[in-house]
Structure 1
Amino acid sequence: MVPLGPAALTRPASDGRYGSMGAVPTVARWWSSRTDPQRIDLYTRSSYYSTLVFVPVLLLFSVSPDWATSSTWQPLVLLGSSVVTTAACLVLTRRGFRDRTAGPDRPALLVALVAGLVTVLAALAATGAGPAPAAPWVAGLVSAAVLLALSVTVPTRPLVAGAAVTGVLAGAVTAAEGGPPATAVVVGASIGVAVGFFVTAFRFSVWILDVVLEMERSRAVQAQLAVAEERLRFARDLHDVMGRNLSAIAVKSQLAAELVRRGRDGAAEELADISRVAEESLREVRDVVRGYRRTDLPGELAGARSVLRAAGVGVTVTGEEDAVALPEPVQAALGWVVREAVTNVLRHSRASWCSVELHAVGGEAELRVANDGARGTETTWGNGLTGLAERLAAAGGRLSAGPDGDRFVLAATVPVGVPA
């Protein structure tokens, strides 16, 4: 036995003998970078594929204790046909996940059924003469694999009917092996019920996946509709402001041109009126743009609640009554904080809840936005938080942001009465 020195004791375990843990953070980042619908989709697919891959192994282990012959062709046929069945079922499953509205792939289904029948016959031949408890379960496993592949696209009722047919097939195999009728009925019923529960459980997971994907699409459509509605609102306001004035400018321009052409008086007055209407239009457009860009704190709090709920984030907002009483400069400064905080929650976290708290005590207004989407202990600020801190500093306020346990907290404080 060779003694270990201090260098050996302090040497890391990633020297090649025990492998390296460097891939674990990569896998964790790969998993955390996916959305919840993508995770559910990945989990559902992997459940199907891993279950189907183990079908040949389960068949061999279930039949091997009943082998009554020294010949090797029956086990080889059993293994080959079960592998073909599994491959055809994998093709059915893959194409079903690709397009669940197209129905099962008929050539792959035919191959799976024929190879499954060969598997059952090979199991009967491999078990020899006399009753073989494993033979009915081979029929059940093969039928379960085919029904599992079909469950991606086929509704529940046909799958339950297929499970009943599986029970009848298993009972027939038991009777063909020489088992008593009562035993055939019990075995067939047991296998049929087991296959029915097994297949409907997987079908339920596909239904959950469809519901989650539909909700994700609904949220995307809702966000697009909100953007379109805001564009229409702005276009409507701009049209209402500019339509009448531009029409007046066009009419007065034509009138001034006609007066000049005919050499009559009044053209100068019309041109002066055109200048006045143009200046008025410019002022009204600036008012529209200013109102569009203005940050109203009560409106920002209501918008934050609506946007976060639309994104599936549970949100609580407190202190809205204090927001109404704050001076307009303070509302503007804290309104930018709400916008940036909500943007960070939606873009840079996987939060399931978010709380927005506003307090105005002791001559200061404090806004705290917390969520449970903190990742690690990274505290580097991006351009958004940096610009927000500069905006608050100009108003005499301060900003802090960073993880607090399993939460991420953004806090902003602005003195009441200091211009923003």
Structure 2
Amino acid sequence: MREPSTAAGMPDELHRRLGLSDAVVIGLGSMIGAGVFAALAPAARAAGSGLLLGLALAAVVAYCNATSSARLAARYPASGGTYVYGRERLGAFWGYLAGWGFVVGKTASCAAMALTVGSYVWPERAHEVAVAAVVALTAVNYAGVRKSAALTRAIVAVVLAVLGAVAVAALTSGASDPARLDVGADATLGGVLQAAGLLFFAFAGYARIATLGEEVRDPARTIPRAVPLALGITLVVYAAVAVAVLSVLGPQRLADATAPLSDAVAAAGAGWLSPAVRVGAAVAALGSLLALILGVSRTTLAMARDRHLPPALAAVHPRSKVPHRAELVVGAVVAVVAATGDVRGAIGFSSFGVLVYYAVANASAWTLSRAEGRPPRAVPVVGLAGCLVLAFSLPLSSVLAGAAVLAAGAALYGVRRAAGAGRTSQRR
């Protein structure tokens, strides 16, 4: 039996305060984050000179996912994103599985972003800085989503300025060589697929627009416009930066780089930009962390409303109108992981969970009728196939860890359903 949907007019409904520009900025803050500073090197290790092909493939899959998500978000403008879509279109289990993968995977991503802030700001005290960042941004989110959108707008402006400076410095330098962009014999199909899966991590932020569906004004019009706009801007930025860095460093030096953008400006003779790149990386990670906490807390809210998570987490603050308990719990868990863990493998783990999440979104979009705003049939088909292929092309450790977490979530769901059925039979 399908779980009950959130009823309209509930006292704990969130307020619709975000317009088109706010939604686009939150999407940009989620996507144009630490991924572009960190993901290029592992992608180059996987694909070599096929990095750009991996980026293009990741963008195609992301476009399909974005289109499916936008059509579904317009149809179901409630907090929770694919958790809600899967529940409504495919059944309670598939919605739960998507929500479980999102919450667990993105919680790990939050910790990774927090540690990225720490490693750039104060490497010797990375864990302490990470915890401080989590506490500060949880407080910002607690104060209200409009304040979060305003801070995200400032972060996006800083990061775009830094990335633009890096691209211009690299492409206009004498060290830039277009021959380094050629796809050579070192690019294999498996490597390109793995690079695409890793780079997909950096594109996944458009889900944040959908998970904020209950807080967007005129969602049927705003969300379908905001998602492709944010994705398109991000793709242009990523492509420019990837081409610039690859043309200066080449695939091998890029693969070996620990700070590829800093190395690129140094190789281009613009070492004076390195401090700005470090600041930009830290600010970008803060932007990603801010938006990630927003998205995870909203999905937690939706799952708590349906009692897949403790119902107390469904509370909405009467003044700030945010899911304050969910935000505090998410912030506390992320702070603990950031303080005690090493999440260098979190990108692969998170990518697996997010790709499964979007596979459910595409399957849900397939069930829409034309009157419900169904996308062209090829979109959810390509999106679903692409998500599954990229998910299982990731490093084996990421696949095994992700599959284990999903299996654990499915087991918990089964136990809960069995317990509920037992209580029902006893009452009879």
TM category, shorter: under 0.3
* Max Rg structure: 1
Higher relative contact order (CA 8 A, sep 6+): 2
Structure (1/2) with the larger strand percentage? 1
TM-score (norm 2): 0.22
